[in-house]
């Protein structure tokens, strides 16, 4: 069987690094595009089997460079996404709509085997969110230009390398109280990064072409339940305080002043809607890859860093002892 070439955009994030390990381990040749090769290459190189990885520096809107890369590959994988906008081109429209549309057109032009695009769950309902609408518009353009696309819509993706559980455990460790938006009732189906990349690898290796697949974990948890579980895992007690919507909106405006805001006005709009499977599309379980990693058991492997004692916490060794 001929070795397949995979081109990955967004390979330095938690999902990309995990996927690189799986692909190169199984003899797929991988090219990763990064904006800053000096900053990101050491993170990416350590993930791959020797001889199966190439790292290329390019801006995602340098069409000539992107074109030359796509004409040499078999499978294109787009993992790029942002949660908030920044000046200088990092807008929802550019990242979630314009760039994926360009990739789809090039995939069609060079007759690629497959295009896999990472979107997000819960975007159909959030019509007032600019983030959600940019994702939907990108999906629409992709399928119009290259029907041989599989769009993945994951719920919250977590792992030791995430910016979700780690950020919340840091805040819960430091703050005496934590706000609950919409009373903490918004529901999620958190999926571990390895379960998501197992799904992506299965789609690639079995050449599964299903227009939209919702990727969910084995549990449905409300935002409040997620926080309570994280507090239990780091052995902390904190006041979880429901915020009136007016106060929540004001806090989001204040947070937007900072370079990496905890919450934005647009994210607050998204939090109104559940982030669980809709029942309208296939899920990862439907294509034969059910999620097998449970939230508590996975976060327990790295949460000791936020307990009293940090990396020297004796609780870390108690966890390991229970496995023996």
At residue 60, the pLDDT reads: 86
Q: What are phi and psi of 312, to 5 degrees?
A: -100, 10
Mutual orientation of helices 63-70 and 99-109 as an angle, nearest 10°? Answer: 40
* Strand partners of residue 54: 31
- The closest of 171, 185, 169 to 276, measured between CA atoms, is 185
Asked if residue 158 lies in contact with residue 298, where contact means CB atoms within 8 angstroms, the answer is: yes
With b for 16 or more beta-carbon neighbours within 10 A and e for fewer, the 157-166 pattern comes to bbbeebebbb
Low-confidence spans in the chain with pLDDT less than 70: 1-2, 315-324
At residue 321, the pLDDT reads: 53
At residue 315, the pLDDT reads: 67
Give the 3-state secondary structure of residue 74.
coil
At residue 183, the pLDDT reads: 96
Residue 89 structure tokens: 């081109």
Which domains are present in the chain?
A: 5-157+192-216+277-283 (3.40.50.720)
At residue 66, the pLDDT reads: 96
Length, in residues, of the chain: 324
Q: What are phi and psi of 247, to 5 degrees?
A: -70, -40
At residue 151, the pLDDT reads: 98
Residue 45 structure tokens: 């190189």
* Cβ atoms within 10 Å, residue 119: 23
């Amino acid at each position: 069987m001929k070795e397949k070439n995979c081109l990955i955009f967004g390979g330095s994030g938690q999902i990309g690094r995990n996927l690189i390990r799986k692909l190169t381990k199984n003899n797929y040749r991988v090219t990763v595009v990064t904006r800053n090769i000096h900053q990101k290459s050491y993170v990416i190189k350590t993930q791959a089997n020797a001889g199966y990885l190439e790292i290329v520096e390019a801006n995602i809107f340098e069409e000539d460079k992107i074109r030359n890369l796509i004409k040499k590959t078999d499978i294109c994988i787009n993992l790029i996404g942002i949660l908030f906008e920044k000046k200088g081109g990092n807008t929802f429209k550019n990242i979630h709509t314009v760039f994926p549309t360009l990739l789809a057109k090039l995939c069609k032009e060079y007759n690629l085997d497959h295009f896999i695009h990472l979107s997000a769950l819960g975007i159909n309902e959030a019509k007032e969110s600019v983030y959600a609408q940019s994702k939907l518009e990108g999906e629409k353009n992709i399928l119009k230009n290259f029907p041989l696309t599989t769009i993945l819509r994951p719920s919250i993706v977590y792992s030791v390398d995430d910016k979700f559980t780690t950020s919340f455990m840091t805040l819960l460790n430091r703050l005496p109280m934590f706000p609950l938006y919409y009373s903490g009732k918004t529901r999620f189906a958190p999926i571990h990064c390895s379960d998501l990349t197992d799904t992506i690898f299965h789609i690639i290796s079995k050449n599964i072409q299903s227009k939209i697949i919702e990727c969910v974990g084995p549990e449905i948890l409300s935002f409040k339940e997620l926080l309570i579980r994280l507090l239990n895992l780091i052995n902390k007690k904190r006041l979880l305080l429901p915020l009136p919507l007016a106060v929540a909106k004001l806090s989001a405006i204040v947070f937007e002043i900072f370079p990496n805001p905890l919450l934005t006005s647009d994210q607050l709009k998204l939090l109104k809607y559940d982030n669980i499977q809709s029942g309208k599309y296939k899920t990862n379980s439907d294509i034969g890859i059910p999620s097998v990693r449970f939230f508590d058991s996975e976060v327990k492997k790295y949460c000791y860093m936020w307990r009293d004692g940090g990396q020297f916490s004796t609780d870390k060794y108690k966890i390991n002892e229970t496995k023996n």
